[in-house]
């Protein structure tokens, strides 16, 4: 299999914001989900299990994004902490898959 690596300018904070937003949604809507209906207990437990797995995976991806954020050089022309190129993203994110 062939991999093509392309240097694309990206804003790391966008990924961090999206991860935080999705994590907030999981924490407030799915993880505290409970029911008193005996017919819905298995369904509720399944939804909670999916949300818990997604939450753990999001934390793992957030750690990877933070690692990439510290690995790449700063773009001096842009305000804030933006990175000039993300060429290692396919390798770092997919190296364990």
Question: Would you list the domain boundaries of the chain?
Answer: 12-94
Q: What's the CA gap between 72 and 61, in Å, rounded? A: 16
pLDDT at residue number 84: 46
Q: Is the pTM of this model over 0.75?
A: no
- Is the pLDDT at 46 greater than 80? The verdict is yes
- Residues 90, 5: contact at Cβ < 8 Å? yes
pLDDT at residue number 85: 46
Q: What's the CA gap between 11 and 83, in Å, rounded? A: 6
């Amino acid at each position: 299999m062939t991999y093509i690596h392309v240097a694309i300018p990206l804003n790391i904070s966008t990924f961090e914001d999206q991860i935080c937003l999705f994590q907030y949604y999981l924490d407030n809507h799915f993880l505290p989900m409970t029911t008193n209906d005996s017919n819905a207990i298995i369904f509720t437990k399944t939804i909670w299990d999916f949300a818990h797995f997604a939450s753990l995976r999001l934390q793992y991806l957030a750690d990877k994004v933070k690692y990439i954020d510290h690995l790449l050089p700063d773009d001096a022309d842009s305000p804030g902490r933006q990175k000039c190129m993300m060429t290692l993203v396919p390798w770092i994110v997919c190296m364990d898959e």
